[in-house]
């Protein structure tokens, strides 16, 4: 069975600090990878996605992620966080080309201090 792990449960940063959130998945086949963000009280929104090609993908709001196949990782990065980035971040994998069966990680809560 597929699974997704996220390295940190809660990350606290000051504004302008750099961010890296870890994500690892377990699946031996072809995967499609996603990062979603959930702002307080809101629904999940897509930050970025990787299907194939350049392993460094850029998303919205200055986020980027790097797919490292050999490490089964898809870490999310942002050079300089803002207070408005305070949210919960979910890594997700779709490795089953049937029915959009996403497997989500447990989430990482990011708190950015002004």
H-helix or E-strand spanning residue 31: none
* Subset of 24-63 contacting another protein (CB under 8 A): 32, 34, 36, 42-46, 49, 51
Written as six digits, the tokens of 28 are 């031996």
Rounded distance between C-alpha atoms, residue 46 and residue 40, angstroms: 15
- The reply to whether 69 sits near another protein by the rule CB under 8 A is no
Nearer to another protein, 17 or 88 (CB): 88
Least distance to another protein from the beta carbon of 16, Å? Answer: 29
Question: Residue 108 has what DSSP assignment?
Answer: E
Enumerate binding residues for another protein (CB under 8 A). Answer: 4, 9, 32, 34, 36, 42-46, 49, 51, 90, 92, 94, 97-107
């Amino acid at each position: 069975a597929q699974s997704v792990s996220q390295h940190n449960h809660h990350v606290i940063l000051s504004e302008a600090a750099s961010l890296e959130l870890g994500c690892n998945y377990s699946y031996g086949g072809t995967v499609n990878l996603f990062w979603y963000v959930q702002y307080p009280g809101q629904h999940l929104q897509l930050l970025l996605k990787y299907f194939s090609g350049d392993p460094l993908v850029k998303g919205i709001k200055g986020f980027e992620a790097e797919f490292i196949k050999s490490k089964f990782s898809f870490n999310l990065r942002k050079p300089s966080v803002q207070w408005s980035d305070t949210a919960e971040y979910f890594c997700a994998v779709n490795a089953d080309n049937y029915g959009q069966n996403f497997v989500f990680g447990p989430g990482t809560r990011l708190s950015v201090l002004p």
